Structures are given as structure tokens and as C-alpha cells.
Structure 1
Amino acid sequence: MKIIVPMAGRGSRLRPHSLTVPKPLIPVAGQPIVHRLVKDIAKVLKQPIEEIAFVLGDPAFFGDDVVDSLTVLAEDLGAKASIYRQDQPLGTGHAIMSAKPSLSGPAVIAYADTLIRADFELDPSADSVIWTKRVNNPEAYGVVKLDSNENIVELVEKPQSFVSDQAVIGIYYFKDVSVLKDKLQEVLDQNVMNGGEYQINDGIKRMMADGRIFKTGAVDEWMDCGNKTVTLETNSKMLAFLEVDKEEQLVDNSVVLENSTVIKPCFIGKGTVLRNTTIGPNVSIGTDCIIENSSVKNSLIQNQTTIINANLDEAMIGNHVKYNGEFTKISIGDYTTME
């Protein structure tokens, strides 16, 4: 099994946090988004992963440190890491085709701006599985249309009248991904574009037209990381799951607590010092931070940041920040100083 991860976008909706760190590497509950996504997919697949292909953007932004991080991620799962570059932002289909040499055999394609919780078996009768989540407002999403045999027969983008309530979340399984590759090559050769981009859906629709069987795989939770508000919500949900699962140590043994309280669930990284402070619930703090005389809840703070005299709720704070103040709903990027 292979996993293909297109992640070349700049993550503009998550600025300023994605100005210096690619969005898929922004930590949620103590781990980068893409790391959690790939690990969770591997759990669902329940079979060995031989290769993980990452499609990155401009090397000036997705540099050697990013490549090193992704290589370690793949190797920790016993897989080979393959790195590709998407030289132009020409859509989801173009991003997948940027990894053309890896498009063979069984594979999962997953876009790196979402997290999931799921537990299901892949349908052996299916040529492809499109992972979905039931939503209350399907008109805001791309949804699948099913026939009487529960096969997917159509993909409908933001339907004005009811088609189904199963929204496509951007994770796909292909029994042989080379079939999708061939169809996407046709899309590129014929210059079939939607919204000025080459889309994965155009390749999928051609597979459906050939009679390929598509099934749904329903996830229990679908958590977006597209902007600050939903990323904080996802951080809170993930912390709650991890607290119940007990799969990870959430508060590192090196954390210093001086007259301070941690209200679970929280993640606190190595070397962080808390003085006269209450943290939590639903807070993630990176490594080597100092927080003094403060109260922080429902927030996400990255690495090597100092916070003093703060009362924070729904705050997202980047790396190397110095913050001293009484503001609450804030969004601060890297290397910012507010005193």
C-alpha cells in the first residue's frame, strides 16, 4: 500500500501562522497536521505501508527541513519517502500527477489539511473508496450520489437540491491508482479544466464512466485545519480523543510547574515552564515555552514562545513570540513581539 499526500498549497487561510511554516506542518495536539493524518490513515488501513509520496511546493518554502521531517515520518511507519514538487498551483489532479512515478498499485490519496478518526474495513469489491462524513448542510460541500446498491455513481459539488448528506472529505483509496493516473493523463492531454485547474474529480468521473465500482468509507470524525477558528476546534477535539485513548503522553516529564495548574486535556511539550499559571482545558503548548502569571484555555501555542500577564481564550500563537498583555482573542504569527 502507498499513501500519496498532495501538500503544495501555501495555506493562505491560516495566515499569519502559515507564512513561515507550511500549513501541514503546523502542530495540532503536539504533532504536525500531516504527521497525524498519515498515522491515522495507516491505522485505518491495517496493512503495511511501502511508500509515502509527498507532493510539495516551492523549495524556498518547503525546504530541506520539511523534507527531513517527512522522511522521518515515513521511515517511522516502515515506508519509503518519495518527494515530488508541484511547480504550478494547477489543481488537485495536477498535484497528484506530479507524483506520477509513484502512481501504481493500491494507494490512498489524502490532502493534508484535514484530520480524521475512523475505523472501517476497505470493501474488497470496490475499485475505489471515497471517504465521506455525514453533514447537516450538504449544500456547502461536494457530496456523493449513490445508487440502490450503495455504489457511488456521481460527484456533485455544492448541490442546490438534496442529493445526499455524505460529504467528500478529500481522502480516496484506489485498488490500482494507475487507473486514475491514466484518466488524469487524459484530462491533462485534453486540457480539461474547471475553475482554471485540473481536478481529481474529472479523473474519477472517467473511471465511473468505464464502470469502475466506487464505494463510501464513512469516518467518525472529520476535523478541518483550514483557518484559525476551525484549527482551534480541531485541537480541542484531538486532545479529547488522545486523553481518552491514552495513546500518547500529553504532558512531557520535563515540564516545570511552579504554582501552576493544568486542566485536562492539554498537550505541553518538552522544556516548557509554567509559573503562577493555569493552563486548560483544550490547550496545546510546544517545546521550550515560558508562561508566567497567566490563564490560557482553548488555545494553541507553538515553540519557544514567552507569554506573561495574559488571559487568553481561543488564541493561536506561533513560534518565537513574546507576548505581554491583556488581549484575549488574538492570532499572532512567528517572531512577533507585543509588550
Structure 2
Amino acid sequence: MKIIVPMAGIGSRLRPHTLTVPKPLTVIAGKPIVQRLVEDITAVIDQQIDEIAFIIGPVAKGFPVNTKEQLLKIAAELGTKGTVYIQEEALGTAHALYCAKESLSGPCVVAYADTLFKADFKLDASADGAIWVKQVEDPSAFGVVQVEEGFITDFIEKPKDFVSDLAIIGIYYFKDGDQVRKEVQYLVDNDLRENNEYQLTNVLETLKRDGAKFVPGKVEAWMDCGLKDPTVDTNKQVLSFEYAAGNNLVSNDLQLVNSEIIQPCYIGKNVVLKNSKIGPYASIGENSVVENSNISNSLIQSNVQITNATLDNAMIGNHAKYNGEFTSISIGDYTELL
């Protein structure tokens, strides 16, 4: 089984945090988003992963030069081969797969790195394909699927009238990756675009028309990492899941001086807390120092210095320094508010 992760978007909606770090490498509760994504997919698949292929954007469009090395390290830590492809132009979801066509073979999962999920089902690898979905209150904002007798019968993009409340979350399983590659190649060879992009939905329609039967994979939680507030909320949900599972997310080398931690929280290595109250739902990255502060429901990256602060619903980037009385803040890497 292979996992293919298109992640070439520059993450403009999450700026300033994505000016120096690609959105899928933003750390949530101690792990990059994309690492959590592939780990959760691996648990659902419950099979040996032979390769993880990542599709990223070029350095010229904002991707740091060390992005490839970070992604290969994630694959290695999961005990599998890592491959990195470059999508030079943003020409759509199917075009991203075209850029990774050398890895698009055999059974594979395609997962767009915009989201995290929580699920308790196991994938039926004997099915022709599966599409991960989540029941939503307002389906008009999403692509949705219709299901009859356990199989997906139609895909509808942002329906104006109600047809289904099962929203597509951007994760797909294909039993025959080779056939997907052929259909993607056909789109590109014949320049079949919609709004100047090659769309995966066209591939899905063709496969369904040719007899492929897709089943829905329903998830319990669908967590967005596109904007600051949803990303902070995703951190909160992940911390809740980890704490409920009995996982300790506080480093053993924490220096705790006249301070209190209210769980659930993530505290990275070599963190110093002085005269502070942390939590609930706070993540603080490694090598950070917090003094005379109260921090809850916030996502703090690594090498950060925070003093005299009361923070809630805050997101602070790497190497930032903050001393102040603002609360709902969002500051990027290397920023100083003193």
C-alpha cells in the first residue's frame, strides 16, 4: 500500500505562520500536521505501507529548501520509503497526482494535507475504492457524496439544494492506482480542465462510469488546519484525543518553577515554566520559556519566549518573543512584541 500526499499549496490563509514553514509541517500537539495525517491513515488501513509520496511546491513559491529532508525523515520514522515530487504550477488536484505518477500504482491512498481526522473503522481493501466523508450541518459549502445500499452513487460539488450531508474530506483509497494514473494522464494529454485546473473529481466520475464501486469511510472528527482559529481548535481536539488515550505529552525534562499545568497539554523538550499556569488545551514547543503567564487553548511553537502574558485562542510561531497583555493573537516566526 502507498500513501500519496499532495501538499503543494502555499497555505496563504494561515499566514504569517506559513511564511517560513509549509502548512502541512505546522506542528500540532508536538507533531507536524502531515505526520499525524499519515499516522492516522496507517491505523485505518492496517496494512504495511510501502511508500509515502509527497507532492510539494517549488522553493521559488515559498517552500523552504529543507522541506524534502523533513518529509523524508517523517517517512523514515514510520519505517517506509519516502519520495518527494515538485508541482511547479498549481494546476489542480489531478495535476498534483500527475506530478507523482511514478508512485501512482497498485493500492494507494491519496490524502490532501489540509485536514486531520479521527476514525474507528478499518478500510476494506477489497473494495474498488473508498472516499472518506463526514456528516456536516451545511453541505452547501462542500463536495458531497450520495450513498445507496452502501455504495457511493454520485459526487456533487457544493449543492445548492440538499442532496446529501456526507462531505468529502479529501482522503481517497484506490485499489488500482495504475488505472487512476491512466485517467490522470488522459486528462493532461487532452488538456481537459475545469476553471483552468485538472480535477480529481473527473477521474472519480470516469472510474465510477467504468464500473468501479466506491464505499464511504465515515470519520468521527474532521479537523481543519486552514485558518488560525480552526488550527488552534484542531490542537485542542488532538490534545483531547491523546489525553483520553492515556498518552503523556509532557516532556520529562520540563523545568517547572512555581507553576501549574492543567491537562490536557503538550509540553516539548527543554521547556521552562516559571510562575505560570498552562492549560487546558495548550501546546508549547521545545526550547521555550514561559514566565509570569497564563496560557490556555493556544498553540505555541518551538524556541519561543513569553513573559507577562494572558493568552487564549493564540497561535505563536517559532523563535518568537512576546511580552504583553493581548489575548487572541496570531504572530509568526521570529516576531518580537516586547
Q: TM-score, normalised by structure 1?
A: 0.97
Following TM superposition, by how much is the alpha carbon of 1:211 offset from its aligned partner in structure 2, in angstroms? Answer: 1.3
Aligned to 1:267: 266
- Describe the shift of the 1:47–1:124 C-alpha distance in structure 2 as closer, same or farther (beyond 3 A): closer
Which amino acid is the alignment partner of residue 69 of structure 1? Answer: Q
Aligned to 1:94: 95
Per-residue CA deviation, residues 24-75 of structure 1 (Å, 9 max, x unaligned), is 0001111100000011111111110000001011135434522222112112
Aligned to 2:253: 254
Following TM superposition, by how much is the alpha carbon of 1:208 offset from its aligned partner in structure 2, in angstroms? Answer: 0.9
Q: Note if contact 2:265-2:279 (Cα within 8 Å) is conserved in structure 1.
A: yes
Aligned to 1:210: 210
Per-residue CA deviation, residues 103-136 of structure 1 (Å, 9 max, x unaligned), is 1100000011111111212235521100101111
Alignment partner of 1:146 is 2:147: yes
Aligned to 1:302: 301
Which amino acid is the alignment partner of residue 195 of structure 2? Answer: G
Aligned to 2:332: 333
Q: How far apart in 1 are the matches of 2:82 and 2:63?
A: 15
CA-based RMSD = 1.1
Q: How far apart in 1 are the matches of 2:186 and 2:143?
A: 23
Per-residue CA deviation, residues 63-114 of structure 1 (Å, 9 max, x unaligned), is 4522222112112222111111001011111011110000110000001111
Aligned to 1:198: 198
Instruction: Give structure 1 stretches of 5+ with no counterpart.
Output: none
Secondary structure of 1:223's aligned partner: strand
Which range moved further: 57-66 or 160-169? Answer: 57-66
Q: How far apart in 2 are the matches of 1:24 and 1:139?
A: 26
Alignment partner of 1:158 is 2:158: yes
Which range moved further: 194-203 or 118-127? Answer: 118-127
Following TM superposition, by how much is the alpha carbon of 1:306 offset from its aligned partner in structure 2, in angstroms? Answer: 0.6
Q: How far apart in 2 are the matches of 1:160 and 1:150?
A: 24
Secondary structure of 2:82's aligned partner: strand
**Structural mapping, 1:1-339, within 5 Å:** 1-60=1-60, 61-147=62-148, 149-247=149-247, 249-339=248-338
Q: How far apart in 2 are the matches of 1:244 and 1:67?
A: 33
Instruction: Give structure 2 stretches of 5+ with no counterpart.
Output: none
Following TM superposition, by how much is the alpha carbon of 1:219 offset from its aligned partner in structure 2, in angstroms? Answer: 0.9
Per-residue CA deviation, residues 270-322 of structure 1 (Å, 9 max, x unaligned), is 11101100000000010111111111111000011111111111000001111
Which range moved further: 273-282 or 138-147? Answer: 138-147
Which amino acid is the alignment partner of residue 55 of structure 2? Answer: V
Q: How far apart in 2 are the matches of 1:119 and 1:69?
A: 29
Which amino acid is the alignment partner of residue 295 of structure 1? Answer: N
Q: How far apart in 1 are the matches of 2:126 and 2:43?
A: 21
Which amino acid is the alignment partner of residue 90 of structure 1? Answer: L
Q: Note if contact 2:20-2:64 (Cα within 8 Å) is conserved in structure 1.
A: no
- Describe the shift of the 1:313–1:124 C-alpha distance in structure 2 as closer, same or farther (beyond 3 A): closer
Per-residue CA deviation, residues 173-226 of structure 1 (Å, 9 max, x unaligned), is 000111111111111122221222111111111111111111111111111101
Q: How far apart in 1 are the matches of 2:163 and 2:183?
A: 25
Q: How far apart in 2 are the matches of 1:322 and 1:75?
A: 33
Secondary structure of 2:38's aligned partner: helix
Following TM superposition, by how much is the alpha carbon of 1:160 offset from its aligned partner in structure 2, in angstroms? Answer: 1.0
Which range moved further: 287-296 or 193-202? Answer: 193-202
Secondary structure of 2:169's aligned partner: strand
Following TM superposition, by how much is the alpha carbon of 1:261 offset from its aligned partner in structure 2, in angstroms? Answer: 0.4
Following TM superposition, by how much is the alpha carbon of 1:150 offset from its aligned partner in structure 2, in angstroms? Answer: 2.4
Secondary structure of 1:229's aligned partner: helix
Q: Note if contact 2:105-2:177 (Cα within 8 Å) is conserved in structure 1.
A: yes
Following TM superposition, by how much is the alpha carbon of 1:325 offset from its aligned partner in structure 2, in angstroms? Answer: 0.6
Q: TM-score, normalised by structure 2?
A: 0.97
Q: Note if contact 2:4-2:53 (Cα within 8 Å) is conserved in structure 1.
A: yes
Which amino acid is the alignment partner of residue 332 of structure 1? Answer: I
Which range moved further: 150-159 or 96-105? Answer: 150-159
Per-residue CA deviation, residues 115-166 of structure 1 (Å, 9 max, x unaligned), is 111121223552110010111111111000123x222121101111111111
